[in-house]
Amino acid sequence: MSTDLIDQTLGNLACSLPGATRVFRHYRLDFCCGGDLSLGEAARRIGVEPQIIAEALLALEPEEAQRDWRNMPAGELIDYLLARFHERHRDQFPELIRLASRVEQVHGSRPECPNGLAQHLWHMQQELESHMLKEEQILFPMLQRGMRFPQAQGPISVMRYEHQEHGNALERLAALTNDITPPANACNTWRALYRGLEEMRSDLMQHIHLENNVLFRNAEAPLAASADDAQSIEVRQP
């Protein structure tokens, strides 16, 4: 049974197995931008036996059923993305930048202080806002009108590239913050900042995952094969 999981892609597992993304984050597996990699290949790249991660997936406690967006109309998923992630990101970044600026001003002389974080978050905000506007004004209306491959391929390719850039920005964020780990004697503002950063990172990874591995993939798939493909990648639960 674990062999079945090892051969599947991270993106498919994240879609079909509730709790899988939590395991992937624990092992720092990139299921959003790296969703096309099989679990086996992704595990080997980080020097972990694939069997160990597969067993962690099999041991997941049953959760409330999550929605499988792969078989949902594009318009319904787009409405969810706009409400759940686009608006959330626009709310998150101003406060994160304010908190980061405060921490740097007060604790900038400490070696563990994430100096440069406020500026990095500002750049992330600008890049993400530009990206979301392109989706809202160009790509999403195309998909809502039923346009697919090849008409939508150009905008989708641009969005996938920008998603990779967002992933790189998250790696820089982790480097600045010791993987978003506050020091033992961090003040309340510092801890609030890192809680917010963890939430933002989780949201952004889920956001990219749903676009790369569901919305865009469905738009790129041949119409006749879409339903069959969705069935073929179901995870067989133990």
pLDDT given at position 237: 40
Evaluate whether 58 touches 1 at the Cβ level (below 8 Å).
yes
Which token pair is 84?
């759940």
pLDDT at 2: 59
d(CA 188, CA 202): 21
DSSP for 121-154 reads HHHHHHHHHHHHHHIIIIIHHHHHTT--TTTTHH
Spatial distance between the Cα atoms of 80 and 4, rounded to a whole number of angstroms: 30
Q: Report residues of the chain scoring pLDDT below 70.
A: 1-3, 18, 61-66, 222-238
Query: Are the CB atoms for 215 and 38 separated by under 8 Å?
Result: no
Task: Work out the number of other CB atoms within 10 angstroms of the CB of residue 105.
Answer: 10
The values of phi and psi at residue 161, to 5°, are -65, -45
Distance CA 152, CA 141 (A): 10
What is the pLDDT, as a whole number, of residue 190? 94
Nearest to 180 by CA among 91, 86, 99, 123: 99
Token pair of 140, please?
A: 């999403």
Rounded alpha-carbon distances, angstroms, from residue 43 to 19, 27, 166, 216? 17, 9, 22, 25
pLDDT at site 107:
95
Enter the tokens of residue 93. Answer: 């970044």
- Tokens 């969810």 sit on residue: 80
